Amino acid sequence: MKETYWPRMGLMACLALLAGTGPSVAQNLVQGRPAARQAAPADTAGFRAPQLDATMATIAFHRLNGSTPDFNRQAETSQAYRSATAFDRDQVRARERSRLEAQFRAFDLSRDYLVRVSTTLNQYDLARRGYAIPFNEASYVTFYDNTTGRQLGVQIRNVDALNFISIPDVANARDFAQRNNLNMQSDIASSIVLEAVIRLAETGSAEQNSGNPLLIRADAVAARVMTNNGRDARVIHAFSVAPPASASSRLVERPLKAADVQGLRLGMARAEAEALAAAAYPDGGKRQADGATAYFEGLAQGAEPLCGVERDRGSPVQRADGSPVFFSVPDRSAACLALQMDDAKLARIVSGQRLDTATRDEVRAALEEKYGPPSLVQEGGTFLTWQGPDPAIPNSPAVQINARMQEAGTGNLRSVLLGIEVRSARAVGPVAAPARPGGPRL
Give the pLDDT confidence of 213-262 residue by residue, as tens digits: 889 989 999 999 998 866 778 899 999 888 665 555 678 888 999 999 99
Output 139 or 215, whichever has higher pLDDT.
Answer: 215
pLDDT, residue 236, reads 93
Question: For residue 394, what pLDDT band results from cuts at 50, 70 and 90?
Answer: confident
| Closest to 316 (Cα-Cα) out of 324, 307, 306 | 324
* Residue 433: pLDDT over 80: no
58: left (phi over 0), alpha (psi -120 to 50) or beta: alpha
% of the chain with per-residue pLDDT over 90: 40
**DSSP, res 316:** B
2: left (phi over 0), alpha (psi -120 to 50) or beta: beta
Give tens-digit pLDDT for 52-94: 999 999 999 999 888 888 888 899 988 999 999 999 999 999 9
If you average pLDDT over every residue of the chain, what do you get?
80
pLDDT, residue 124, reads 95
Give tens-digit pLDDT for 105-137: 889 888 899 998 899 999 999 999 999 999 877
What average pLDDT does range 380-398 have in this prediction? 90
pLDDT, residue 298, reads 82
Q: Let me know if 438 is exposed, middle or buried by CB neighbors in 10 A (0-12, 13-18, 19+).
A: buried
Question: For residue 43, what pLDDT band results from cuts at 50, 70 and 90?
Answer: low
Give tens-digit pLDDT for 266-279: 999 999 999 999 99
What average pLDDT does range 155-170 have in this prediction? 91
Give yes or no for a contact between 202 and 378, defined as CB atoms under 8 angstroms apart.
no
* Residue 209: pLDDT over 60: no
pTM for this one?
A: 0.70
* Residue 204: pLDDT over 70: yes
Q: Measured between alpha carbons, how far is 32 from 175 in angstroms, rounded to an integer?
A: 25
**Integer Rg of the chain from CA:** 25
| Closest to 30 (Cα-Cα) out of 217, 249, 222 | 222
